[in-house]
Each structure stands twice: as C-alpha cells, then as structure tokens.
Structure 1
C-alpha cells in the first residue's frame, strides 16, 4: 500500500448496563471506564485506535441523584416519580418551552448530565489515548453566550460525539430517524436534520455516523456516501429481545426477525456501498427496569475483506463480517426465540438478564483522506469550549424565581380547567 495509507484498529464494546450504573456521577464514570478497560487489551501502540461505544449510553442519567428510582421497576413509574420530586424545575420548563413531561424531566437535568457525560468521555479519550465515538446520549443544542452556554429551547436530540486522543472535539452528529420509542409517547426526543449530517476525516477513517435506525435509511447512507465516508459508525441500543420480531415504519405490518432486519444496516452499507468500506456497530445489552436491550455487535467490510461465511443468528452465513459477537446460544429458531423471551426484563426465568458482553476488534487500512474538514456548527463550537474548560455552566434561575414560575403555571392550569 502507498506510504500515505492509513493503518488503524477499531474496537467495538458490547457492554451490559444496569440502572444502578446511572444513579450517581461516580457510578456512571465507573461504568464508562469499565468499557475502556475491556477495550484496553485490544489497543495497539503502533497505530491509532478508534473505540466505538453504544447508543443512548447517557439516557439513564435521568436517574442520577435518585437511588430509589430503580426500585420502582418500570420506567413509566420512575419517570412519574422523578417528575413529581423535581416539579420545581420540570413544570416551569413544560410551560415555558412547551414540552411534554418526559422531555422536560431530561432537560431539567441536562446541564449537569451533559457536563458529566462529556467530561467523562474526554478524560477517557485522553487517558487511553484513543479516538473515541462516545456512543450517544440525549443532549440539548447549545450556543456560546459570552462565557456561558445557552440552550436552544425545547430541543433534545440523540447525539453522538467524536473525540480525538487529546480529548478534543472532532464533531457531533444527531440521529435523524427516531424509533417510535424515541418519539413523543416515549423518550420524546427531537429528530436531527438530514442536511446537517457530515463526514469527519481522521487518521482512523473518514467517519460518518448513522445512529441505529439511521443506518437502515437510504437517505442517510446516500448523504454520507456522497461526502466520501469510508468508515460508518452505528452506535446501537436495540430495545427488544434480539430474536423477537421487528416491525417499524414505514410498514410496521411487515414483520421479520430482528437479525434479518439488521442485515439492512451496516452489513449492506459495506458490502454494496461505493465509498463506505468498513462499519462498526456496537450494541448494548441488559435490562433497564422493564426495558430489554439485546443484539450482536459487528464490524463489517467488503466481501473480499471478510470471505469467511458467518452471520447473525436466525440468518444464513455470508461474507462481509470482519468480527461478530456470538449470541448467548445457538440452536433452532423456536429455541432461540424462547431464549430471547427468557432473557427479557421481568421474565422471571432463571436466565433473565444473563446476556453476553463482548469486545470486537479489527485492523483496517485505507488510502489517505481526500475529504475536507467540515466547518463547525455553533453547537460544536460551544461543546469544544466546554471540553477545553473555557466556558462556564449556564446560570440557573434562583429557586425563588423557579418557585414563582411554578405557582404561576399551576394557576394557569387551574384556570384552564374551569
């Protein structure tokens, strides 16, 4: 290969999460560090390493500061109780920014949780000396106002942050296509904008991010292809038993096994794409209260790069998998589907929550990049300043002002009901 070629290693971490990992800042830092420790044996000192973490790994930070919340056993109960206990902050947000209670609950703690998430990831990228795809987390959009952050009212997107080995910001990507569970009746996130998707040239590939469902959508893949993406990153949190049936818009009636559907994401992008040569798809596992997360992490490439036939459970072997995490067992379809139910949240089965964790890696090579560095958005400029410690936290309204806003809001609701 030419002397300007890029040689690097990618590592995908498949962790298992528990609600207790998010009830305090210290617990969250331990959980994130444990993932980098899992990746450490697979980092190469002679070439750059890219570590890719999973989708929504900051979402449960909404539980932070409430160690009693996991005992409520369902996210619906926990969210209702958290909203009530944080009413002084959440209700004014609902009224002022016209959001639902779930989004207001997340926005109320977004300043502290954003800082905790970003600073934890920055410190890990520096300590381990890796390029880090931080996974993704619900995060507001910010702009800088003097020496503080200003949040765009009512906006909360599913965001991936990319960092270099010095902990500096490379770029941010929002998820464009939200699943039903991420929309108004669920986590209540704001969809990203397709025209804001960009490719970031780095020593570990020209990185394009397609968070979970985005990697299944032709408009996202085509936009990243057109900008010269060579390494696709697909952080994932599949919120269902891996061997259950899947049915999503635009045709929720067309159901199929989840692993069959997954072949339409990273594997298809690398085996049939123009510029996209490799893809990294880490998937989180574990039961969070009453929610089930399961899957098989994978690193994919061109068929000639990975000629050995293999594939997800419930699918036929095929080339294109450079690395693939085994599922918890092998067997006939009926057995696998039952096992998926046994593992799921609140199944009561002895195998409940006994998912497999894993770490995948692959050594990759690419020609020198020809992609231009995209200009930064105002949001990225603000996050970069935060990561460099050059910016203050935005000021929170004094408690008496928040209490006054709450009382006015309650009076308004009472009048509306008369």
Structure 2
C-alpha cells in the first residue's frame, strides 16, 4: 500500500532563558509542537522535524546567574569554574577539554531531560518526531543500566514514533569549525554507522546540517534506500552573509547559494531520495547569531512552481519554504541580515521570522527492513523507558580560589590553540 503522510518543519526562535531550567526547556519544546498543532492532519501520519542543536544550550541549565556575562565563551568559562567540583575531575579522568568537561558534567541529567521531553511530546501530539539534535554521549547497557562511554559527545539526532518509542539514532559525521576543538568540542560520528529507518512516514535517513552537503553521506543513505532525508539545521551566522564551507573555506558564497547544495540537490537530483525536510532555528543566543529559511523539497515534478532562498534565483523543487524576513535587492537583504545579528544595536536586532511549513507526501510501500539496533540505541531505549531524574545536578558552591584559577588557565590555554 502507498504511504501517505504529512511532513512538517518547525522554525523556532531561541533565547538563552529557554534553557536555564528544566521547566523553561520543556515549555520551549512544547511551544514548537503547539506551533505545529494547527497543521497536523488527522487522516494520515504526521512527521514533525525539529532543529539542530536544540539541546546544546542545556549547558546553561541552572546557570541563569552567568547569562549576564553576555557571550557564550564567557558564560561557559564561568559555568566551568562554578561547577569545578565536577568539571575538573572529568578533565583529569577522561582527558577532555574544559568545554567538553562542562557539557559532560551534566550530560546524563540533560540527556534524560531531553529524551523524556521529546518522548512525552511525541506521545501527546501523536506524531513521528525527529527531535532535532543535541550533544549526547554514547551509552551502553551494563547490568541493565545505561553507562556513558568516557569522553565521547556527539551531535546526535533521535527519531521517535507516536508512542514515544525509539526508531533510531544518527550522529553528525562532518563537524563545522564551531563544533570542533576550538568551539564546543564535539566528537565526529562514524560514516559507516549511518543507517536508514523504514517507517510509515518514509524510509528516513538523517544528515545533520553539514552532512547534507557531503556526497559520501548522501551516497551512503541512498545505497540503503533512503526516501526521506532529514536535515536538522542551526546555521550560526546571518543568513545573507558570505561564508566558506569546509573543505574549501576560502570559497566565499552567499549562504543561501551554498544551501542549494544540501537538501534541495539531494531531493531534486538524487536516486532514491524523493523528499527532504530541513528545519532551521533562528534567534540570537547570547552573542551567537542563527538564521535561515526552513524548507521541504522534492522532485521538480512534485513542486514545479519556481521559488527559492533569498539571494538565489527561483527554481522548481521547493514544496514548502519559509519566507525570509524581507525582500529586496541583494544590498538591502545583506543589510537586513546585519541589522538583526547579535550585537548590532539596531532596533531590528534579533527580529527573525518563526514559522511552520508542511507538505503532504506520498511514497510507495517500503521494501526495507529496520536495521538491527546498536548497543547505544538499546541504552537510549532504556532511558526513554525510565522516569525523569528527580535529583538534577546542582552548581557546586564554595569552591577554592586556587582551583578556580587553575580552571581558568586551562580554559585560556585551550582557546589559544
């Protein structure tokens, strides 16, 4: 039987205060499903796709006191020192950097909060949910209990069914410079571990942000029969700025021009991939700017009406596209992007467009079988089956000044490398 379903991409706006408590995070995540609610259909399954790194700012949980420091780097350094009783032993024991130690210090509690929040939303709204992505450890079951692999922290997507049960997990393979050692210091995923998950809402393959630009990622997913590509995204720059993407950072292009090489190309020119869903988060998170246009793309015959991203010429293939905040000449668009960026001081600073886009899609019945679960997926299933922790970690008080100085010097040393 053919599969008929609705795909929805949510484009939310985030603020630092959305992540300073568990209640605030749950409310922010719920607001995204509430945005989608009016567009959910009752006569076919719904696939809701959320944005990349929507769990990264959970490092701020319990740290509202630090957010007035203004920049992500200053706030992270202050939180590292404030949580020194937990971060410093992690550096010594697991051989990780201060920024990775800061994230790992609360990783178990934040992973449970993230997964349980998404599980509850998938159940309540009755949707297939691509949770976005979050920096997440790799786990295995030891004596029936999830145990974190030392030192590892990947940019990780989790897909859930309408009962809140795990469908599958994917790690981001190709990291941007901001995700590498000089930034938030994540662990690259393994290309050979990317798999395709057959569901009533498509044979789902995940290519997180930069992965969707990589032919080897798209090729691996197509070899396994991917029909719906999921590309959660968090573009950390003004949308109309110039950028150079790895592996050729000197090749500066308008970002929307570069974005045509990801989901749009995969769905319009691919072999098995028929559709792609690319949600993008917007908003200034402390001193960091995030902007973009969410899109659902397909074959030219599926979407013959010409349209496209800002600063690009109209073309077929866009089934749904969030308009950017304004229209006009390239000079006007670039100025509008700068005005909204963090620290601009302009009256329009942080004025971005939120949106939900959707498209009704059809695919033939799948001939694929679900892949075997990994040890990590078995462990996440155990976490999803448990109850939320009632004892969240607290910031350690009364730390010694000498240890604080040592931590600060360690942090500065990392930033200079």
Structure-2-length-normalised TM-score: 0.93
Q: Is the 8 A contact 2:296 2:321 kept in 1?
A: yes
Distance in 2 (alpha carbons) for counterparts of 1:350 and 1:394: 42
Q: Is the 8 A contact 2:3 2:365 kept in 1?
A: yes
Aligned to 1:117: 114
Distance in 2 (alpha carbons) for counterparts of 1:182 and 1:389: 30
1:312 to 280, 305, 309: 309
Aligned to 2:132: 135
Q: Deviations over 1:202-257 (max 9, x none)?
A: 00000000000000000000000000000000000000000000102211111000
1:239 to 228, 236, 239: 236
Distance in 1 (alpha carbons) for counterparts of 2:245 and 2:186: 17
2:186 to 185, 189, 194: 189
Deviation at 1:148, TM superposition (A): 2.2
Distance in 2 (alpha carbons) for counterparts of 1:148 and 1:381: 10
Distance in 2 (alpha carbons) for counterparts of 1:51 and 1:249: 29
SS at match of 1:322: strand
The alpha-carbon distance between structure 1 residues 274 and 394, as it changes in their structure 2 partners (threshold 3 A), is farther
Distance in 2 (alpha carbons) for counterparts of 1:42 and 1:60: 28
1:70 aligns with 2:67: yes
Aligned to 1:149: 146
Aligned to 1:370: 367
Distance in 1 (alpha carbons) for counterparts of 2:390 and 2:31: 28
SS at match of 2:64: coil
Aligned to 1:88: 85
SS at match of 2:117: helix
Deviation at 1:147, TM superposition (A): 3.6
The alpha-carbon distance between structure 1 residues 390 and 72, as it changes in their structure 2 partners (threshold 3 A), is closer
Structure 1, unaligned runs of 5 or more = 414-418
Distance in 2 (alpha carbons) for counterparts of 1:338 and 1:46: 44
Distance in 1 (alpha carbons) for counterparts of 2:389 and 2:125: 26
SS at match of 1:275: coil
Q: Is the 8 A contact 2:263 2:278 kept in 1?
A: yes
Q: Is the 8 A contact 2:146 2:382 kept in 1?
A: no
- Mapping 1:122-271, distance limit 5 Å: 122-271=119-268
Q: Is the 8 A contact 2:293 2:323 kept in 1?
A: yes
Distance in 2 (alpha carbons) for counterparts of 1:390 and 1:69: 29
CA RMSD across the alignment: 2.0
2:275 to 275, 278, 289: 278
Aligned to 1:416: none
Aligned to 1:101: 98
Structure-1-length-normalised TM-score: 0.93
The alpha-carbon distance between structure 1 residues 326 and 391, as it changes in their structure 2 partners (threshold 3 A), is closer
SS at match of 2:262: helix
Distance in 1 (alpha carbons) for counterparts of 2:81 and 2:12: 31
- Mapping 1:378-389, distance limit 5 Å: 378-389=375-386
1:299 to 277, 285, 296: 296
Structure 2, unaligned runs of 5 or more = 411-417
User: How many pairs were matched up?
Assistant: 401
1:287 aligns with 2:291: no
Aligned to 2:332: 335
Distance in 1 (alpha carbons) for counterparts of 2:91 and 2:392: 19
SS at match of 2:289: strand
Greater CA drift, 143-152 or 112-121: 143-152
Distance in 1 (alpha carbons) for counterparts of 2:175 and 2:143: 33
Runs of 4+ in 1 over 2 A off after TM superposition: 390-396
Q: Is the 8 A contact 1:111 1:393 kept in 2?
A: no
